[in-house]
Amino acid sequence: MPLTKRSQARVLALQALCLFDALGERFKDELDRFLQDRVNQADLGWKRGLRSKHVAFARSLVAGAWEHRVASDNLLKEHVSGWTVERMQPVDRNILRLGLYELLECPETAHQVVISEAVELAHQFGGTESPAFVNGVLDGIWRGLAAVTGTPSESKDGKQAGGPVDHRADVASPYEESHEKHHGSV
């Protein structure tokens, strides 16, 4: 099944995050060129390039995930036992950063969609165990957050009991809490 344009934007966002991870801030000057590169998109098997609104979506995901990477890494340290963030495969680490950013800061996208998209990225670009690892980590962090905020549990059909409730706007961002925990109050 072909990827949706938003899924394609997530692929580009993941690639860009991996480049940021490898090259650091100096990649910032190349980001727009990379996201619009039709050769890169063709290499991914896409017959048509992404429209500007999907490139903008990819750019916002990259910018947000990269900006929040320290806080994401702190959340990962708190929730992943037996692994350091540095020991994680770079692709897995950046899929998790992307997924955490979207889970915690983009309430317009349902958490099930975010986790499913991250797992699909892990299938496409990660190792054999990456999909289960990514799913377990993101789902565990989401459930932990839901337990703290009192989000209704999901019914057997995957829908939230009592209708859709998104608690992300009602609580302080775990990014802020994690940052304060590790760096003190701002």
pLDDT at position 63, please? Answer: 97
pLDDT at position 151, please? Answer: 63
- The residue among 64 and 156 whose pLDDT is bigger is 64
167 pLDDT tier (thresholds 50, 70, 90): very low
What is the count of structural domains for the chain?
2
What is d(CA 46, CA 151) in angstroms, rounded to the nearest whole number? 39
Domain boundary among 66, 88, 121: 66
81 pLDDT tier (thresholds 50, 70, 90): confident
Say if residue 95 is in the same domain as residue 128. Answer: yes
Minimal CA–CA distance to 72: which of 92, 56, 52?
92
Q: Residue 103 is part of a domain; what is its CATH number?
A: 1.10.940.10
Dump pLDDT digits (tens) for 22-64: 999 999 999 999 999 989 898 988 888 888 999 999 999 999 9
Say whether pLDDT at 182 is over 80: no
pLDDT at position 149, please? Answer: 76
What does the pLDDT average to over 166-170? 44
Say if residue 96 is in the same domain as residue 82. Answer: yes
What is d(CA 177, CA 186) in angstroms, rounded to the nearest whole number? 11
Domain boundary among 66, 88, 107: 66
Residues 74/176, Cβ–Cβ less than 8 Å: no
Domain membership of residue 85 as a residue range: 68-152+166-186
Say whether pLDDT at 20 is over 90: yes
Say if residue 27 is in the same domain as residue 109. Answer: no
- What is the residue-wise DSSP string for 17-80? HHHHHHHGGGGGGGHHHHHH-HHHHHHTT-SSPPPHHHHHHHHHHHHHHHHTHHHHHHHHHHH-
Buried b (16+ CB within 10 A) or exposed e, 168-179: beeeeebbeebb
pLDDT at position 169, please? Answer: 44
pLDDT at position 175, please? Answer: 54
73 pLDDT tier (thresholds 50, 70, 90): very high
